[in-house]
Chains A and B, each alone.
Chain A
Amino acid sequence: MRSGRRRDGLVLVALALYAAPFFWQALTSLRPDAELLPLTHLWPSRLTLVHYDAVLRQSMMPRALLNSFGIALLSTALAVGLGALAAYALARLPVPGRRVILLGMIAATAFPQIATVSPLYLLLRALGLRDTWLALVLADASFTLPLVIWLLAGFIREIPRALEEAGAVDGAGRLGVLRWVVLPLVAPGMASAGLLAFLFSWNEFLFAYSFTASEASRTVPVALALFPGVFEVPWGDIAAASLLASLPPIVIVVAFQRYLVRGLLAGALRE
């Protein structure tokens, strides 16, 4: 057993080393400016919160965090809301051509964003949606919605038909079965799909960079990429901003790991 414990410990150390770039960035965010360039010692002589102060008080990040949060939540709601209904239809209802439609969903997740960014840009501009939350909510939905539908269709198919039939026998119509039998059972799957949708929306960069123009709708990745530096790059501030930008992903990985893993595996294993 002891060798097993030691081995487990070594693996943990190895993985901690794997995540070292992130911990280094965290350390950088606490390192005083004077000790950033050039790097002479691994450990700083003292830790400081001045970078976080600068980021939270003097930069666009707080507003960007709000934008990102709102957009990701709304986009996830849209994707899961519409996606659950569509997934049920594709998985259980005799919609003609549903195999083709489902295949189309899968293909849609493979669309390169660089191809759709120019027409979407023109479309959003024509609709007057430039620099608004709605623009990004819709743009993000273009790739999270097919993903959610694909995942949920698979999860719904895993529910034994007997349960649904029992519901039908009890007098509930199709919609009732959906609402009281299927949805509660697929709720963990919806959580997985929703978490993935939220994560993708939070991390999304290309659309956000192209469709936003000011802090009214700038999301966190864009704010980070456009972090202002007058002469020299403020590496400490950028590190602090990076840590703030990583908070939701960290929370998801730490607190919702089970759902995240389930979503990732479901997508890959269902081929």
Chain B
Amino acid sequence: MTDRRLGWLLLAPALAVLGGLTVYPALWVIWLSLHYRIPVFSISRWAGLDHYAFLAVDPRFWSAAWVTAVFAVVSVALECALGLAIALGLRGQRRARRVALGLLLLAWALPSVVTAKMFEWLYHPAGGLVNFMLGGRLINWLGDPALALPALIGADVWRSSPFVALLCYARLLTIPGELYEAAHVDGAAGWQSFARITWPLVRPLLLVALLFRTLDALRAFDIMFVLTGGGPAGSTETLTVYAYRSLFQTLQVGFGSAIGVVVFALVMLVAVAYLRLIDAEERPA
């Protein structure tokens, strides 16, 4: 058997599975979004671009888009900053590195539902640790529309920073200590060696982390759905939650698919934009 044929043979099962589970649904969801489709009532007819035309003027869609954007931008910014800080703190660690990494990665590895329930309890007005630490004030973190989104972002930053920290930490480990020693000998202050040595070497990796985290934040569903359900009053309802409610609560499969397609396009756009950016970064080097 030729190498080529063997290659196809080995590739075929995976391609078949993925074709059926990823490519086909990706095309189908676009098809669905062009229909009025409510299976429960056997409603199924052509809608053309009506759903998209509606989304353009739908106040709930724009509210969800805004929440998604704020969530993504703020979460990712905080995660990258915190992740880098943790990595810098970890860099000099000699003893018990596995324990240190373990404590850090725990937050990342937990199921998002566990994290959501955990923070729901932490934020509880009467029984929560957060209010206890703040001196027993009865702040309604998840019930106040002004506080719910920051609270949600806090939970997401907690569980996602370790990923960024790990990436930066791995990078920092590859920077030879001699560079810092040389800079120290030359009389450079701490922040100078950070700016001249650390930052340029860590920056490309931070960009990659930014890419991954942004894509994840745009697609995030579990944590806001379980923590707040999108409430109160839609203050934490992202596009994914809106899509889910349309699909499985009001059973509007056509309309919900349209929102899903929008999220899809958004994610792909951001991915392409970031990849271009990363490419441009790497070229001069």
- Could you tell me which A residues sit within 8 Å of B by CB distance? 4-5, 7-8, 11-12, 14-16, 18-19, 21-22, 24-25, 28, 36-39, 42, 78, 82-83, 85-86, 88-90, 93-96, 98, 101, 105, 107-108, 110-123, 138-139, 141-143, 145-146, 149, 174-175, 199, 202-203, 205-206, 210, 220-222, 224-225, 235, 238-239, 242, 245-246, 249-250, 252-254, 257, 260-261, 264-265, 268-269, 271
Residues of chain A within 8 A of B101, CB atoms compared: 257, 261
Contact call B6/A89, Cβ cutoff below 8 A: yes
Residues of A contacting B14 in the complex (Cβ-Cβ under 8 angstroms): 82-83, 85-86, 145, 149
Who on chain B is nearest to A20 by CB?
A: B129
Partner of A89, one of B8, B225, B268: B8
Known contacts A118-B256, A139-B21, A142-B21: A22-B170 contact under CB 8 Å: no
**Nearest-Cβ distance from residue A197 to partner chain B, whole angstroms:** 13
Stretch at the interface among B48-56, B113-121, B142-150, B195-203: B113-121
Contact assessment for A202 and B111 in the assembled complex, using a CB-CB cutoff below 8 Å = yes
B interface residues (Cβ-Cβ under 8 A, vs A): 1, 3-4, 6-11, 13-15, 17-18, 20-22, 24-26, 28-29, 32, 39, 86, 89-90, 92-96, 98-107, 109-114, 116-119, 121-122, 124, 126-129, 131-132, 158, 163, 166-167, 170, 205, 208-209, 212, 215, 218-219, 221-222, 225-226, 239-240, 243-244, 247-248, 253, 256-257, 259-261, 263-264, 267-268, 271, 278
Within the complex, the shortest CB–CB distance from A240 to chain B, in Å, comes to: 11
* Contact in complex: A203, B112 (CB < 8 Å): yes
Q: What is the CB-to-nearest-CB distance from B233 to chain A, in angstroms, rounded to a whole number?
A: 21
Partner of B13, one of A19, A86, A269: A86
Q: Looking at the complex, which one of A89, A118, A203 makes contact with B257 (CB distance below 8 Å)?
A: A118
Partner pick for B114 among A82, A110, A246, CB 8 A cutoff: A246
The answer to whether B103 touches A15 (Cβ under 8 A) is: yes
Are B4 and A119 touching (Cβ within 8 A)?
no
Q: Which of B11, B29, B129, B219 sits near A90, CB closer than 8 Å?
A: B11
Residues of B within 8 A of A245 (CB): 111, 113-114
Contacts of A112 in B (CB 8 A): 218-219, 240, 260, 263-264, 267
Closest B residue by C-beta to A109: B215
Q: Which residues of B contact A98 (CB under 8 A)?
A: 7
Docked complex Cα distance between A33 and B205 (Å)? 47
Cβ of A38 and Cβ of B126 under 8 Å apart? Answer: yes
Tell me which of B89, B93, B105 has the highest count of chain A C-beta atoms within 10 A of its own C-beta: B105
Which of A15, A22, A118, A222: most chain B Cβ within 10 A?
A118
Partner of A8, one of B13, B18, B95, B107: B95
Known: A112-B264, A112-B267, A116-B29. Is A239-B100 also a contact (CB below 8 A)? Answer: no
A4, A21, A82, A260: which contacts B158 (Cβ < 8 A)?
A21
Closest residue of chain A to B221 (Cβ to Cβ) is A206
Q: Is the CB of A21 within 8 A of B122?
A: yes
Q: Which of B1, B4, B13, B92 contacts A95 (CB under 8 A)?
A: B4
* Residue from A174, A221, A235 in contact with B222 in the complex, judged by beta carbons closer than 8 Å: A221
A98 CA to B6 CA, complexed, in Å: 13
Among B103, B111, B209, max chain A CB count under 10 A is at B111
CB contact between B102 and one of A14, A36, A254 (< 8 Å): that residue: A254
- Asked if residues A12 and B6 are in contact (CB atoms below 8 Å), the reply is no
Contacts of A242 in B (CB 8 A): 114, 117-118
A268 and B102 contacting across the interface, CB-CB below 8 Å? no
* Cβ B260 vs Cβ A118 within 8 A: yes
Contact between A210 and B124, CB atoms less than 8 A apart: no
Cβ contact within 8 Å between A205 and B222: yes
Say yes or no: B11 contacts A39, CB within 8 Å: no
Q: A25-B121, A114-B263 are in contact. List 10 more A-B contacts (CB 8 A).
A: A86-B13, A86-B15, A115-B260, A203-B112, A205-B112, A242-B114, A253-B106, A257-B101, A261-B166, A268-B167
Interchain nearest-CB distance for A193 vs B (Å): 13
- List the A residue with the shortest CB-CB distance to B107: A19
Which B residues are CB-close (under 8 A) to A142?
Answer: 17-18, 21-22, 25
- Assembled-state Cα–Cα distance A123/B260 (Å): 17
